[in-house]
């Protein structure tokens, strides 16, 4: 996993500022880490998540990258899917993007006012339903912040994320 160090002492890092390719949506000053979401979005119409199937996944902050990597390597998604686009994307000069897991997608939701393209709805997450390998989680942003499973072939918006660390 490629993590870019931040010069914490030279710039006040906080949610909502543009930094290293996207908008900071989470900062943990104790652990000296954070999460950036790409502020360009992918498409206005959304993309299918990817192919059906199971892969190794982990919940909680810090596992979106590994989940996306495992899904990509296990399922070999087509080029016109959210999974493929996030994993292979180079946005604003950075190429270590991934789909956020459910915990990380909540941070994106909480910072939604900083994204000019935001129109509500849901975004794809890097987790699948263990009970139904034909469904992936989409984080719904209807005020409840509840993730629900949706068919992996349905179209949803995707927002690529990347981790940052600072000293």
pLDDT the model gives residue 52: 81
Answer with the residue of higher pLDDT: 118 or 63: 63
| Arithmetic mean of pLDDT over the chain | 83
Give the model confidence (pLDDT) of 140-163 as tens digits.
666 566 667 777 777 888 889 999
pLDDT the model gives residue 12: 83
**Mean pLDDT on 57-73:** 92
pLDDT the model gives residue 44: 54
pLDDT the model gives residue 7: 47
Structure tokens at 101: 């897991």
Answer with the residue of higher pLDDT: 107 or 5: 107
pLDDT the model gives residue 131: 77
Supply the Cα-derived Rg of the chain in whole angstroms.
15
Integer angstrom CA distances of residue 156 from 82, 122, 136: 8, 6, 11
> What is the C-alpha to C-alpha distance for residues 48 and 26, in angstroms, rounded to an integer?
26
**Mean pLDDT on 31-45:** 79
Kindly state the percentage of the chain with pLDDT values over 90.
36
> What is the C-alpha to C-alpha distance for residues 26 and 17, in angstroms, rounded to an integer?
11
Q: Among the residues of the chain, which ranges form H helices?
A: 64-75, 82-88, 102-110
Kindly state the percentage of the chain with pLDDT values over 70.
86
Give the model confidence (pLDDT) of 71-119 as tens digits.
999 998 898 898 999 999 999 999 999 999 988 988 988 898 888 777 7
User: pTM to 2 decimals?
Assistant: 0.85
DSSP assignment of 68-85 equals HHHHHHHH---TTBHHHH
Answer with the residue of higher pLDDT: 106 or 45: 106
pLDDT the model gives residue 109: 85
């Amino acid at each position: 996993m490629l993590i870019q160090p931040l010069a914490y002492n030279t710039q006040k890092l906080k949610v909502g500022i543009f930094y290293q390719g996207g908008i900071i949506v989470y900062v943990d000053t104790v652990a000296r880490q954070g999460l950036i979401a790409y502020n360009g979005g992918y498409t206005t119409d959304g993309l299918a998540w990817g192919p059906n199937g199971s892969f190794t996944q982990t919940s909680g902050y810090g596992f979106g990258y590994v989940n996306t990597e495992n899904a990509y390597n296990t399922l070999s998604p087509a080029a016109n899917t959210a999974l493929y686009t996030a994993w292979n994307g180079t946005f604003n000069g950075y190429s270590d993007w991934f789909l956020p897991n459910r915990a990380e997608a909540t941070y994106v939701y909480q910072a939604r006012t900083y994204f000019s393209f935001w129109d509500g709805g849901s975004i794809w997450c890097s987790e699948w339903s263990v009970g139904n390998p034909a469904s992936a989680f989409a984080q719904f942003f209807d005020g409840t912040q509840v993730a629900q499973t949706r068919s992996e072939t349905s179209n949803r918006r995707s927002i690529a994320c990347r981790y940052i660390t600072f000293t």
